Amino acid sequence: MRLAGIDQSVRMKISGRKTASMEARYNILDDADLKDAATKMTQEDEQFPYGPEVG
């Protein structure tokens, strides 16, 4: 459900999990999650090579 973009509170309600820690326990990451994070970090570095601009 997470990969489908369903909000955490909705996932918890559907699955019957009462706490965020139980949601986290069963929210298992896979290689695709790690690759997606690496891609997003690379894009961020390209957009802000010296870090985000501060007002």
Radius of gyration from C-alpha coordinates of the chain: 16
pTM over 0.85: no
Span between the terminal Cα atoms of the chain, in Å: 37
How far is Cα 15 from Cα 11, in angstroms, rounded to an integer? 6
How far is Cα 13 from Cα 27, in angstroms, rounded to an integer? 14
| pLDDT in the model for residue 10 | 94
Is the pLDDT confidence value at 38 over 80? yes
| pLDDT in the model for residue 54 | 65
Percent of the chain at pLDDT > 70 equals: 89
Domain limits of the chain?
A: 8-47
Contact 23, 8 (CB under 8 A): yes
